[in-house]
Amino acid sequence: MVKANGTIQFTEKPSIASTGVTVGPMEKDSPFASAFDEILLLEKEKNESYEEANTRFIEKACAITVKKGHEKMENIDVFIGGDLINQLSPTNFAARKLKIPYLGVFSACASSVESLIIGSLLLESGKASSILAGASSHHPAVERQFRYPLEYGAQKPKTAQWTVTAAGFALLQKQVKNAPIITHGTIGRVVDGKQANPLHMGAAMAPAARDTIERHLTNTNSKVSDFDVIMTGDLGKIGLNILKDMFTDEDCHVILQDAGAQFYGEDTFFNAGASGAGCSAAVFLSHIYNQLQNGTFKRVLLVATGALLSPLTFQQGETIPCIAHAIECRMEKRN
């Protein structure tokens, strides 16, 4: 049932049976590095182009996910994925090889959770039993498309964030034992905070994150302290502080966290932190997933944030509309 204001309650217990995360060379020093499944040390990984490399990262992550879930690729009913490149070509090209019925999704960096919500809905409907869902991003490819080619050497301000090279996918199945279940999904609304600077995305996305979190809390009759962690996707260090300022609750300062702010630790080389669809996908489906698996976290809210700009719209002086999709995951007692 979709409640008013976009929250869906899943009653059929769609579970995250397994996950697979591949990351690039810059991500090997991340505090989350030990949770990633595979670290590939070249951005191009012996491929002709960065976009092609992005496709390989997706294929590898999918293969790892399916293998860890003790499942066969041909048994997957639907593959749902998104990335940040025009026309979703990396994911489309990965789907060409996977040969699984495929839905491409785009809500920028919020694509990761969007795929998980759609996957859960398909399971809930009973029309599918195994779903492969996730998202990816690739630093050099994204930089070239949205900003400047890396070779250009353009300067970046301290508010800028670093798009991660990563692909994170999850195998969704119904009622898997000892696996986190997705209990609710809240579909984001497009919120425009009238921010127009593409090198300050955290400020642009914070209002969208706030909107989704508030609606989720209202619709599920819960409060911030009911959660072990409420993690946003890629607001970055500045964006996270802006979001915290929007909540008056004392608990927010500990419970509200951001994957992008933590992704590269305290390294100032990355300015305000990490971003990208791969950022939320990688952290949610590795670190957070593991914490749910081992029982450290019992109830989490994962809010992937996306800035819906294109290189064209910001050059035309448009402000940056943003969206945030959320899923609530719980770990039931082991049996």
Partner 1 sequence: MISSLIVAFVVGGLICVVGQILMDGLKLTPAHTMSTLVVSGSILDGFGLYEPLIAFAGAGATVPITSFGNSLTHGALAEAEKHGLIGVLTGMFEVTSSGISAAILFGIIAAFIFQKRNTTY
Report yes or no: 18 and 65 within 8 Å, Cβ to Cβ.
Answer: yes
Q: How far is the CB of 144 from partner 1 (least distance, A)?
A: 11
Nearer to partner 1, 164 or 329 (CB): 164
Nearer to partner 1, 197 or 290 (CB): 197
Per-residue interface string for the shown chain with partner 1, residues 102-141, x marking contact by CB under 8 A: --------------------------------------x-
Report yes or no: 57 and 110 within 8 Å, Cβ to Cβ.
Answer: no
Nearer to partner 1, 164 or 301 (CB): 164
Tell whether residue 39 is a contact of partner 1 (CB under 8 A).
Answer: no
Within 8 A by CB and 6+ apart from 38, the residues are: 21, 22, 23, 60, 61, 64
> Which stretch, 35-43, 126-134, 214-222, 240-248, contacts partner 1 (CB under 8 A)?
35-43
Structure tokens, 214: 């508030």
List 44, 189, 244, 299, residue binding partner 1 (CB under 8 A)? 44
Residue 77 is given by DSSP the state -
Tell whether residue 254 is a contact of partner 1 (CB under 8 A).
Answer: no
Q: How far is the CB of 155 from partner 1 (least distance, A)?
A: 7
Torsions phi, psi for 179 (to 5 deg): -130, 150
Tell whether residue 206 is a contact of partner 1 (CB under 8 A).
Answer: no
Residue 49 is given by DSSP the state S
Structure tokens, 272: 């305000």
47: number of Cβ within 10 Å: 15
Nearer to partner 1, 122 or 204 (CB): 204
Tell whether residue 154 is a contact of partner 1 (CB under 8 A).
Answer: yes
What's the per-residue H, E or C state across 145-196?
HHCCCHHHCCCCCCCCCEECCEEEEEEEEECCCCCCEEEEEECCCCEECCCC
Nearer to partner 1, 145 or 197 (CB): 197
Q: Amino acid identity of 123? A: L
Q: How far is the CB of 42 from partner 1 (least distance, A)?
A: 5
Nearer to partner 1, 140 or 306 (CB): 140
Per-residue interface string for the shown chain with partner 1, residues 258-277, x marking contact by CB under 8 A: --------------------
List 148, 175, 245, 294, residue binding partner 1 (CB under 8 A)? 148
Structure tokens, 155: 């300067």
Tell whether residue 155 is a contact of partner 1 (CB under 8 A).
Answer: yes
Do the bridges between strand 78-82 and strand 130-137 make them parallel or antiparallel, or are there none, so unpaired?
Answer: parallel
Report yes or no: 228 and 298 within 8 Å, Cβ to Cβ.
Answer: yes
Nearer to partner 1, 25 or 193 (CB): 25
Tell whether residue 193 is a contact of partner 1 (CB under 8 A).
Answer: no
Within 8 A by CB and 6+ apart from 36, the residues are: 21, 22, 23, 27, 30, 166, 282, 286
List 157, 265, 295, 311, residue binding partner 1 (CB under 8 A)? 157
Nearer to partner 1, 34 or 155 (CB): 155
User: Cα(166)–Cα(151) distance, rounded to whole angstroms?
Assistant: 21
Q: How far is the CB of 148 from partner 1 (least distance, A)?
A: 7
Tell whether residue 90 is a contact of partner 1 (CB under 8 A).
Answer: no
Q: How far is the CB of 154 from partner 1 (least distance, A)?
A: 5
Tell whether residue 48 is a contact of partner 1 (CB under 8 A).
Answer: no
List 8, 17, 21, 26, residue binding partner 1 (CB under 8 A)? 26
Q: Please give the angle made by the CA atoms of 193, 197 and 200, to the nearest 5 degrees.
A: 85
Structure tokens, 230: 């409420």
Q: Which residues bind partner 1 (CB under 8 A)?
A: 25-26, 41-44, 140, 148, 150-152, 154-155, 157, 197
